[in-house]
Amino acid sequence: MIALPYFALSRRLVGWLAIVLGLALAAPAAASALTGYPQVVAPSAAAHAGDLGLQPCAFHSKEDGKNYLADCGQLVVPEDRRGTRSRLIELPLIRIRATRPNPAEPIFTFQGGPGASNIIDFAIDGLLARHDVVMVGYRGVDGGVNLDCPEVSDHIAAAKGPLMGPAALASIRAGARLCAARLLRAGVDLAGYSMPETVDDQELARRALGYGPIDLLGGSYGTRLELIYEWRYPASLRRVVMIGTNPPGHFVWDPKLTDAKLDRYALLCADDRYCRARTTDLRASLRRVSANMPTGWMGVPIDPDRVRFLSFFMLPESIDPKSAPVPLSGPAAIDMWLSAASGDASGMALLSALSHPVLARLINNWGEFLAMGAGDYARLTPAQVDDLTPTDVIVGAPSRLFWEMARDWPANADADAYSVMQPSAVETLVVAGTLDFTTPIETVRSELMPKLSHGSLVSLAEFGHTASFWGSQPAARDRLLATFFDKGQVDASLYVRQPPVFQVGNGLSALAHRILLIAVFTAGVLIGAVWFVVRRLGRRRWIAELG
């Protein structure tokens, strides 16, 4: 009598908590508080490309815990520079002023994505000592035209069957197709939403602000924009820093390289007492689980495709991102898989449940993601598409889903302009973590560095992607950036090796068990309440019958 409500209630509570956590996880990172920042509106009839009206504002950085003097405004840009009668759109622009007099070259920032804002909070205090920091909004995300695609989110949420199965992929493809059609009907010129156009927005801002050569600081997708900036406007640049660099073509991930990088974790596990006690061969343990994925836990179904998909997005960071409400790092993924290897699939069940709300909002702006990233997928040959879903990998990569989503997205005018690496003589510092699965250092070494005649590579041992860089060893980070921007020197001397912490304090498995305890407690309370009410009603009836 107790088993049925126990299992039903535990599954229901897991589902509800997954939705709450998933929405919190997938929500866009909150922008820094701005005082006096004007709302983006459509340009007036008298506006011209390059118009920029600035007014004083304040920029509050939660990362630094400080308020900074800034200038805020809107930059007028053409929607499509190739079109002779293109309409004008506006992009937000923020210039945070240097804290010391006589600043050096300004630093323009390029945040990751695509599909995310370019105006966000990050640790800027060390940069502001000698430089203005300028953030120009990304077209399609930050400006008056938003390429958001609720159709994609809805179709991902409604997808039936395995995530990488034909029915689910067809639904996701249909969502992207419907979104593109709606945007075109609304008058959006999708041909103008490209990476070169985005770079041209930045160059236009440089000129409108009256700057000479500038410095660039970017991460992940932002580094692709930095590369295009180097190729298009080398004379406008002095020094460039790239963190987690993404060369052309690498919005598509190689599933076999992903699995090969797990060998690095296997070696680190063998050197770690806690991890070594859980498995004598991490790679073999992971492969056994992958070959025999659990189908459920305590009534909660597990979709292996969803587990592998989100595991890939956990692996790039060697530490948990600050904004994540649940563990979302490589060590947390390893912990979850090793728990499954020992017979505890609770973490995978929770991740599978979380995937339904999380995947729908995995990208903040699906339209901009497709506008900027579809080109890498459009160039794949049929054989390369087949290689996206090999059957002999452990985790693999999610590129098959993104290829399906991008198939019907209209190509922009610049889709092929910068599809291969080009040489650059701009002074460039490249920072790469050895545990970065998103922008692997192996690709950086083989494809990027040979093209940079004035490039320097800093390899950070056991670091992951960009969140690991910004969230680790701040003194070393600040010295690295300051000495390069200010002196053109590479000083990584303060960095120390940072092995991953395999003993995850609050992993997904531990969280799932806490939810189960809550379910058991709640079920006990409800059953006790029902028993109490039934007993009281029965007692009253007995008294009434005696009377």
- Looking at the structure of the chain, the number of domains it has is 2
Shared domain check, 157 and 141? no
Structural domain includes residue 21: no
What b/e string do you get for 225-246 counting C-beta neighbours within 10 Å, with b at 16 or more? Answer: bbbbbbbbbeebbbbbbbbbbb
Provide the residue range defining the domain that includes 318: 148-185+250-378+380-403+507-547
Shared domain check, 267 and 245? no
Shared domain check, 142 and 271? no
Structural domain includes residue 218: yes
Residue 243 CA to its chain's centroid (Å): 14
Shared domain check, 525 and 433? no
Shared domain check, 328 and 297? yes
Shared domain check, 61 and 106? yes
HEC profile of 399-431: HHHHHHHHCCCCCCCCCCCCCCCCCECCEEEEE
CB 316 within 8 A of CB 437: yes
DSSP state of 146: B
Residue 86 is predicted with a pLDDT of: 85
DSSP string, 239-291: EEEEES---TTTTS--HHHHHHHHHHHHHHHHT-HHHHHH-S-HHHHHHHHHH
Shared domain check, 445 and 329? no
Q: Which two tokens stand for residue 213?
A: 């050569």
Structural domain includes residue 237: yes
Shared domain check, 211 and 75? yes
Shared domain check, 307 and 177? yes
Q: What is the pTM of this model?
A: 0.90
Shared domain check, 233 and 259? no
Nearest in space to 193 (alpha carbons), one of 376, 433, 434, 369: 369
Q: Which two tokens stand for residue 336?
A: 């979850």
CB 432 within 8 A of CB 245: yes
Tokens 């990088």, located at residue: 261
The CATH number assigned to the domain holding 431 equals 3.40.50.1820
Shared domain check, 364 and 274? yes
Residue 525 is predicted with a pLDDT of: 63
Shared domain check, 425 and 515? no
CB 377 within 8 A of CB 252: yes
Partners of 70 in the beta sheet? 57, 96
Structural domain includes residue 11: no
Structural domain includes residue 502: no
Task: Spell out, as residue ranges, where the chain has pLDDT lower than 70.
Answer: 1-42, 44-45, 516-547
For residue 297, the number of C-alpha atoms closer than 13 Å in the C-beta half-sphere is 25
